[in-house]
Structure 1
Amino acid sequence: MKSDTFHMSMLFDFYGELLTDKQRELFDLYYNEDMSLTEISEIAGITRQGVRDAIVRAESILRDTEDRLQLVRRYAGIQTQVEQIAQAAHLIVSANASGPRNYEIAKQADLILQTAAKLSE
């Protein structure tokens, strides 16, 4: 359940602007504010079923959009690759420090680590 909530939040971050204002509001309260359907229905002034229907429609829109565009999947893949690059750069730094130090290698490894950190922001 926790990973599904995270996944839905990621979809919302990428595609939330495609939802109506009301769908965005209800979805945000449910997934990001962790409110119950009953709590949301009291705030929104609609039935619990109305809240659920709006959230289910929003989920469907977000999932369908991801199925077509695959932006969240690509983003996750890029993040994994950036982490691998950073790990490799750390290994280079460690290997370079264990013997006679090559300052050009150290400088380039540092540049790689800085770039990886910026890409992870």
Structure 2
Amino acid sequence: MKNQAYRMALLFDFYGDMLTDRQKEFFDLYYNEDLSLAEIAENYDITRQGVRDVIVRAEGIMQELEDKTGIIRRFQKMQSQLSDIDRFADSIMEMNDQRGSGDPAIEGLCRQIKDTVAQMKQE
């Protein structure tokens, strides 16, 4: 269930703006605020099935967008590659230190790489 919630959170982060205001609201209440379908239905004076239909439709729209664009898949791959680059920079710095004198230019460049990777991961 946690994987499903994480997946839905990613979909919402990337594609939530493509939903109607009502879809956004119900999706947020259900997944982020952890309200039940019955609680949402009661607050909006509609049926539980009506709430479910809105949420299922929102999930479908976002999943279809991901199937067509693959943005989340590419984002996750990029995050993995950035982690690899960060580890490679660590390895280069370690090898530089093991060689005795340790070239400060190499260390400086590795630190720049690591800083750039950190910035890219935050964006």
TM range (shorter): over 0.9
The equivalent of 1:100 in structure 2 is 101
- Hey, what's the Cα distance between the residues in 2 that align with 1:44 and 1:107? 58
SS at match of 2:29: helix
Deviation at 1:43, TM superposition (A): 2.0
- Hey, what's the Cα distance between the residues in 2 that align with 1:94 and 1:46? 62
Deviation at 1:95, TM superposition (A): 2.0
The equivalent of 1:118 in structure 2 is 119
5+ long unaligned stretches in structure 1: none
- Hey, what's the Cα distance between the residues in 2 that align with 1:41 and 1:111? 52
Q: Tell which deviates more after alignment, 43-52 or 70-79.
A: 43-52
Q: Tell which deviates more after alignment, 7-16 or 35-44.
A: 35-44
5+ long unaligned stretches in structure 2: none
Moved over 6 A (4+): none
The equivalent of 2:9 in structure 1 is 9
Deviation at 1:44, TM superposition (A): 2.1
- Hey, what's the Cα distance between the residues in 1 that align with 2:32 and 2:73? 20
RMSD: 1.0
Structure-2-length-normalised TM-score:
0.93
**Identical aligned pairs, as a percentage?**
46
The equivalent of 2:20 in structure 1 is 20
